[in-house]
Structures are given as C-alpha cells and as structure tokens.
Amino acid sequence: QKEVEQDPGPLSVPEGAIVSLNCTYSNSAFQYFMWYRQYSRKGPELLMYTYSSGNKEDGRFTAQVDKSSKYISLFIRDSQPSDSATYLCAMSAPGTYKYIFGTGTRLKVLA
Amino acid sequence: GAGVSQSPRYKVTKRGQDVALRCDPISGHVSLYWYRQALGQGPEFLTYFNYEAQQDKSGLPNDRFSAERPEGSISTLTIQRTEQRDSAMYRCASSVQGQTGELFFGEGSRLTVL
C-alpha cells in the first residue's frame, strides 16, 4: 500500500462545475499538506499549503484536511477550462523534510 | 533568473554512460530537493540538501546515483553507468527553508537512456 493514494482520473467536468479532488494517506505523522497543479510538460506549481487540520481558502480554491480520517481535499469552484491540469497532493511529517506526492489526478474542464 | 533553473532540459545517452544533471535554485533558498517523475506519476523523492549538507538521501535508488551541493547553491545529480530504467524526468525544487511547504520546482531534465 502506498503512503499516499490519489485517483488518477481523468476527471471531466463542465465549465462552472465544482470540482472535488481527494487524497488519502496512511502515515498519521503527516502534518504538512500541499496541493500542486501541473500543466502538461511543466513543473508542479504550489496551489495551497495547509498545516495540520482545518480548511484554507484562496479565491476559487479551498483545501480541507481531516486528520482523523487521513483524508485531504481540494475544491475548485466555478471551474474554468484553464484549470485543466494534473493536480498533485503532497504531504510531509515534521523533521523529515521528505514530501510524499500522490500520483496526481488529471482534470479536464470542458468549455 | 527568478526561478529554479535546470540543465540540460533534455539528455539522450547510451546505456553505460555517466550523466550529470544540474540545478540552480532560487537565490537565497536554503533547501534543495531532487525528485524523479515518471510519466503519469507524482514526483518521487530522491534526496534533500540543507545548505551544502545532504541530510536525506534515502530516495536514491542505488549507489549509481549521487548528488552534491558543495557551496550550498548549485547542485549536481550524477548517475553512473546509466541503465534504461533510469529514463525519467528529473526535477529539482528549492525552498526558503525546509518544511515551510513552498517547494518551487524547475522545468526538469528529461533523461532518455537508449
């Protein structure tokens, strides 16, 4: 079993839809959680960063962490065709400096 | 430049040759990471530097892989006696300080071993 599990998709939604992307993990020591967006042939770019549990909102993006369920989510409101990309979750435990990434979910927002 | 710079962007080599991949992090970034990313997969951790000290090399697949960052800035990932299974995108990332979360990735070096 991988430490971080993420559905690879692809996930296709119509423009304007609310998108929910998720990751589960097995290591209860993880405290730092991130979401990256990766366009084709580009490097990952950080979207959201959350420490421990709770919600964080930035524009159309909301990140949620549920440590009791070992489950994190990224919500995208009013999705746009420009949101079409692969979304990667990443997480880390204190003191390790090693970020473990999910496999990424491919998202297609249809105009 | 403002971002993480990697070179070469593309490298094609024959099996058995050595290759060196270079990473120039964002100026002032203390932490430097090397990751490997296969097609359709997330980045896989290889090694981590804090300044010039290699603090974690647990992700290096075997002793053909090595990395250095002698002056705490530019880093080189070296793969000796390359094998076809080494073909992948190698990505460098840097951050102001490890564990703050904001890893900035470079465009990567695509290695193809024939």
Choose between A79 and B40: higher pLDDT.
Answer: A79
User: What pLDDT is attached to residue A52?
Assistant: 84
Angle formed at CA B21 by CA B15 and CA B24, multiple of 5 degrees: 175
Chain B residue set in contact with A, beta carbons under 8 Å? 4, 31, 33, 35, 40-45, 48, 50, 55-56, 58-59, 91, 98-99, 101-108
Residues 56-95 of A with CB under 8 A from B: 88, 90, 92, 94-95
Please count the CA atoms within 13 angstroms of the CA of B99 that sit on its side-chain side. 9
Mean pLDDT of B18-44: 94
Q: Kindly tell me if the per-residue pLDDT of B101 is higher than 70.
A: no
B100 — pLDDT class (breaks 50, 70, 90)? low
User: Using omega within 30 degrees of 0 as the cis cutoff, is the peptide bond preceding A10 cis?
Assistant: yes
The pLDDT > 70 percentage for chain B reads 96
Q: Are A98 and A3 in contact (CB under 8 A)?
A: no
Question: What's the average pLDDT block by block, 10 residues per block, for chain A (111 residues)?
Answer: 89 96 95 94 90 90 94 96 96 87 96 93
Helix (H) or strand (E) holding A13: strand A11-14
State the smallest CA–CA distance between residue B112 and chain A in angstroms: 15
Q: Which residue has the tokens 């296969």?
A: B38
SS percent in chain A: helix, strand, coil, step 5: 5, 55, 45
Name beta bridge partners: A22.
A73
User: Which chain A residues are closer than 8 Å to B103 by Cβ?
Assistant: 34, 44, 46, 90, 99
Tell me B19's DSSP state: E
Residue A77, classed as helix, strand or coil, is coil
Please count the CA atoms within 13 angstroms of the CA of A77 that sit on its side-chain side. 7
Mean pLDDT of B22-36: 95
Question: Is B101 in contact with A100 (Cβ distance < 8 A)?
Answer: no
State the smallest CA–CA distance between residue B98 and chain A in angstroms: 6
